Amino acid sequence: MSKAKASSPKAAEREHTRTGMSKAALKQDFLDNLFYIQGRFREVAAPHDLYMAAAYTTRDRLLQRWVKSAQAFKTLHARTLCYLSAEFLLGPHLANNLVNLGITGTAQEAGRELDLDFDAILEEEEEPGLGNGGLGRLAACFMDSLSTCQIPAIGYGIRYEFGIFDQAIEDGWQVEKSDTWLRNGNPWEIPRPKIRFPVLYGGHTEQYRDQNGQTRMRWVPSWEIDGVAYDTPILGYGVGNVNLLRLWKAEASESFDFQAFNVGDYYGAVHAKIEAETISKVLYPNDEPEAGKELRLKQQHFFVSCSLQDMIRLHLNTVGPLDTFADKFVAQLNDTHPALSVAELMRLLMDDHAMTWDDAWETTRRTFCYTNHTLLPEALETWSVALFERLLPRHLEIVYEINRHFLDEVRMRFLGDEDHVRRLSLIAEDGERRVRMAHLAVIGSKAVNGVAALHSELVKSTLFKDFYDLWPEKFHNVTNGVTPRRFIVVSNPRLARLISDCCGQDDWIRDLDKVRELESHAESTDLQAQWKAAKLAAKRDLAAWLKQATGVALDPEAMFDVQAKRIHEYKRQHLNALHIVRCYQRLKQGLVRDPVPRAFIFGGKAAPGYFLAKLIIKLINAIADVINNDPEVNGFMRVVFMPDFNVKTGQRLYPAADLSEQISLAGKEASGTGNMKFSMNGALTIGTLDGANVEIRDAVGEENFFLFGMTAEDVHEKQMGGYRPWDYYHGDHELKADIDLINSGLFSHGDTKLFRPLTDNLINHDPFMVLADYRAYIECQHRVSEAYRDQQHWVRMSILNVARMGYFSSDRAIREYARNIWDIEPTPIDL
Ligand X SMILES: *Cc1c(COP(=O)(O)O)cnc(C)c1O
| Residues labelled as active-site residues | 373, 565-566, 571, 673, 677
Classify strands 190-201 and 223-235 as parallel, antiparallel or unpaired.
antiparallel
| Shortest spacing between CB 456 and ligand X, in angstroms | 17
- Residue closer to ligand X by CB (options 677, 796) is 677
Q: How far apart are CA 484 and CA 476, in angstroms?
A: 24
Q: How far apart are CA 241 and CA 237, in angstroms?
A: 9
Q: Which residues contact 298 (CB under 8 A, 6 or more apart)?
A: 201, 279, 391
From the list 623, 303, 683, 356, the residue with the least C-alpha distance to 488 is 683
- Residue closer to ligand X by CB (options 364, 662) is 662
| Shortest spacing between CB 486 and ligand X, in angstroms | 9
Q: Which residues contact 7 (CB under 8 A, 6 or more apart)?
A: none
- Residue closer to ligand X by CB (options 131, 227) is 131
| Shortest spacing between CB 341 and ligand X, in angstroms | 25
- By the 8 A CB rule, do 727 and 581 touch? no
| Shortest spacing between CB 759 and ligand X, in angstroms | 25
- Residue closer to ligand X by CB (options 29, 87) is 87
| Shortest spacing between CB 617 and ligand X, in angstroms | 15
| Shortest spacing between CB 80 and ligand X, in angstroms | 27
Torsion angle, alpha carbons of 742, 746, 751, 755, to 10: -20
Q: Cα 604 to chain center, whole Å?
A: 13
| Shortest spacing between CB 478 and ligand X, in angstroms | 16
Write the DSSP assignment of 161-193 as a string of letters: SB-SPEEEEETTEEEEE---TTTT--TT-EEEE
Our CA angle for 784, 488, 177, nearest 5°, is: 85
From the list 672, 679, 699, the residue with the least C-alpha distance to 495 is 679
Q: How far apart are CA 520 and CA 503, in angstroms?
A: 10
Q: How far apart are CA 672 and CA 135, in angstroms?
A: 9
From the list 345, 297, 143, the residue with the least C-alpha distance to 817 is 143
- Residue closer to ligand X by CB (options 645, 817) is 645
Percentages of the chain per state (helix, strand, coil), in multiples of 5: 55, 15, 30
| Shortest spacing between CB 813 and ligand X, in angstroms | 14
Alpha helices in 429-572 (DSSP H): 437-443, 453-458, 465-470, 484, 493-503, 525-550
Q: Which residues contact 562 (CB under 8 A, 6 or more apart)?
A: 601, 602, 603, 653, 656, 657, 659, 660, 661, 678, 683
- By the 8 A CB rule, do 811 and 149 touch? yes
C-beta neighbour count of 168 within 10 angstroms: 12
Q: How far apart are CA 685 and CA 625, in angstroms?
A: 26
Secondary structure letter of residue 322 according to DSSP: G
From the list 330, 294, 671, the residue with the least C-alpha distance to 482 is 671
- Residue closer to ligand X by CB (options 104, 673) is 673
- Residue closer to ligand X by CB (options 199, 653) is 653
Q: How far apart are CA 787 and CA 216, in angstroms?
A: 71
- By the 8 A CB rule, do 737 and 578 touch? no
Residues binding ligand X (CB under 6 A): 133-134, 137, 565-566, 645-647, 650, 672-674, 677
Nearest residue to ligand X, scored by beta-carbon proximity? 674
- By the 8 A CB rule, do 337 and 86 touch? yes
Our CA angle for 730, 736, 738, nearest 5°, is: 165
- Residue closer to ligand X by CB (options 674, 806) is 674
- Residue closer to ligand X by CB (options 442, 680) is 680
| Shortest spacing between CB 653 and ligand X, in angstroms | 9
| Shortest spacing between CB 272 and ligand X, in angstroms | 36
- Residue closer to ligand X by CB (options 338, 691) is 691
CA distances 197 to 202, 229, 410, 426, 493, Å, are: 17, 9, 37, 29, 43
- Residue closer to ligand X by CB (options 383, 808) is 808
- Residue closer to ligand X by CB (options 140, 534) is 140
Alpha helices in 553-673 (DSSP H): 573-588, 611-628, 647-653
| Shortest spacing between CB 610 and ligand X, in angstroms | 15
| Shortest spacing between CB 487 and ligand X, in angstroms | 8
- Residue closer to ligand X by CB (options 477, 693) is 693
Length of the chain: 831
Phi-psi region of 360 (alpha: psi -120 to 50; beta: other; left: phi over 0): alpha
Q: How far apart are CA 305 and CA 342, in angstroms?
A: 10
| Shortest spacing between CB 768 and ligand X, in angstroms | 15
